[in-house]
Amino acid sequence: MTKQSLRAREDAFQLSVGLPGADNTSDSHSSDGEVIHTPDSLEFDLVNMASDAQEALSVGSLAQINLNKNVDNPILQCVQIKPMASQQGQERYRVVMNDSINFIQCMLAQRKEQSLKLEMNGVMHDNQLKKGSICRLKQYQVNFVKDKNILIILDLEVLQEYGEPEKLGQPVQMEATKDPEMDVKPQPGNISGNNMYGNKPAQQQQQQEQRSLPARTNGAAGGGGSHHNISPIEALSPYAHRWTIKARCTHKGDIKTWHNKNGEGKLFSANFLDDSGEIRATGFNDAVDNFYELLQEGSVYYVSSPCKVQLAKKQFSNLNNDYELTFERDTQVEKAEDMDGVPQVRYNFTSLSDLQSVEKDNTIDCIGVLSEVGEVSEIVGKTSAKPYSKRELTLVDNTGYNIRLTVWGKTAENFEAQPESVIAFKGVKVSDFGGRSLSLLSSGTMNVDPDIDEAHMLKGWYVGGGRNDQFQSHANTMSTVTAAGGADRNATKSIAQVRDENLGMGDETDWFSVKATVIYIKQDNVSYPACLSEGCNKKVVEIDPGVWRCEKCEKNFDKPEYRYIMSVNVSDHTGQIWLQCFNDVGVQIMGMPADNLMQMRDEGEERKVTDAFAEANCKTFVFRCKAKMDTYQDQQRVRYQVQYASPLNFVQESKKLADIIKMYSESDNSLFV
């Protein structure tokens, strides 16, 4: 009998109850001989099906499961279904299962369909699982959460032939096992039992008793044991149980220490990669002693639970994974002699020209030819007051751009790559301080002359003539995502168009590019004395001879760093306009740092100063600017501020002119033949 026919009979029975003249004792027949069931026979069928469902239940199975005993394909009744909030924004459901003696809280697992071919919440959307349904649990896991066991249902089958009877038996809530042999791991508390079946919302939950795992002298698994059940990295979650991954260590960070009021400690992190994805693992204190020397970049390892899986702290990781691992005392790590099937480092490169469209603070991979290597310098952290080593590199690629990339710590101190090497970076942060720049994160990696297609292509381009190209800089560029209603900052306009279109007159900032020639530079107040602290650039004041004070950093310096802040008049074939420029653009225009110019002034070499300004005139650049209304001395005016200036790229300019000529030649009213 189908579920639909049962529902029809039940509805007919409810409509017929209490009707006078109904024959409640026997069945009747239609004219064609079909049996027509009376209310008494319908009631008998329902009672009979409930009895069948009762007999089908795996009575007492929950008690066995609660004792960590394996029960294959238990048949249980669903007595409650509730949606639950998910930290990942996905639909989740909590259910309560009954074996007629006990009931237990459960959660339907949500997994990636591509890798595991399983979407448990599908039974909800297909309207299969309902309150009262009889189900066969084909795959499940037991987790200990907030002093009770929770069933994580990985796969189930709704037995529709039993219908949806009322609660079977008189079940009571399952009590947590006290079996000391049970493998107990604390799990995230997002599966709260409040307002669930058999729980009172105001009832206080007792603290979970911590069960210490047996100690080992070394967390590494010994002797090359067999690893038949290998899990993909993308299948790991806080609800996975007894898993092993086979993955390549693509990065191992330095050991870091901390000291605070609660004590001191040490930690390190490593990245693991397999065919399905990447995941970050962190070890603290004893785990540092157990695993740091064992793990080597490029080698393949088996990593096995117990190992805590938790939500990733994105501020410390650049990997595309919602979870991360924390090594525990009994975590097993074993080097794999067989490296087959485990990929090398994967890259998702962003070209240097495309950095204009990458949001600030995003993490990317990039590759380029090393054109310049700076010296190692040291800065002091503002909050930690600790010294940090840094080195600035300049990369170029075949898109015609260069970029400044900073490496830190031991990477900076031990940097040995030679200019014209091809370097691939994984995990660099995009910054817009002083324009577009990159910074290698502590979790990032660097590979010199990698054996990949992109590296061979760049090397061939550079050796074949790329080293002689002119490269545009990303200095002083900001994020190119336009505000709503703003003009396209990549639009190239003439000076007359900038004025005629009233750019900057509205509430929003307008962006434009203009090709223009410098015709005059205001020589008074061309620079200011700036703080020497990394990233500050605030104006300093000379409080005593040879003593310069920064109020923001609260530090004194022997001398300042002068930085340009200049007003420049530029012209094209349609008119003139005043532009405001800052340090990086000023260096391009003047051809020297502001410190050199101020030194000439201080030494009284006015002739050299005059020649420097004269030399800067008549230089042509492509200025990328923003226009915004400004108030100065109670008067409103449009301020045009240069964000970026690049020398003329004659190849690109020639192509633009050729495109314009082509447009004329294709026009119906063309003057060209």
Q: What is the DSSP string of 579-598?
A: EEE-HHHHHHHHSS-HHHHH
What pLDDT score does 515 carry?
92
Q: Which residues contact 189 (CB under 8 A, 6 or more apart)?
A: 145, 146
Half-sphere exposure at residue 210, Cβ-oriented, CA atoms within 13 angstroms: 1
- C-alpha to C-alpha distance for 520 and 617, rounded to whole angstroms: 6
- C-alpha to C-alpha distance for 445 and 318, rounded to whole angstroms: 11
Give the CA angle between residues 540, 546, 552 to the nearest 5°: 25
Report the chain (673 residues): mean pLDDT per 10 consecutive residues: 48 44 45 49 60 86 85 90 61 83 81 40 67 89 70 85 86 64 39 46 39 33 51 81 85 82 84 85 89 86 88 76 87 83 79 83 87 82 71 88 86 86 88 76 82 87 84 57 40 86 81 91 90 87 89 89 93 92 92 92 90 92 88 74 87 82 63 46
Alpha carbon dihedral 269, 271, 272, 273, in 10-degree steps, equals: 180
Residues making up the chain, counted from first to last: 673
Q: CA gyration radius for the chain?
A: 36
Q: Are 191 and 84 in contact (CB under 8 A)?
A: yes
What pLDDT score does 617 carry?
92
Q: Which residues contact 533 (CB under 8 A, 6 or more apart)?
A: 379, 380, 382, 550, 553, 555
Alpha carbon dihedral 487, 490, 492, 496, in 10-degree steps, equals: 30
- C-alpha to C-alpha distance for 484 and 490, rounded to whole angstroms: 15
Q: Is 409 left (phi over 0), alpha (psi -120 to 50) or beta?
A: left
Closest CA to 534 of 357, 388, 428: 388
Residue type at 46 in one-letter notation? L
- C-alpha to C-alpha distance for 480 and 512, rounded to whole angstroms: 11
- C-alpha to C-alpha distance for 32 and 42, rounded to whole angstroms: 21
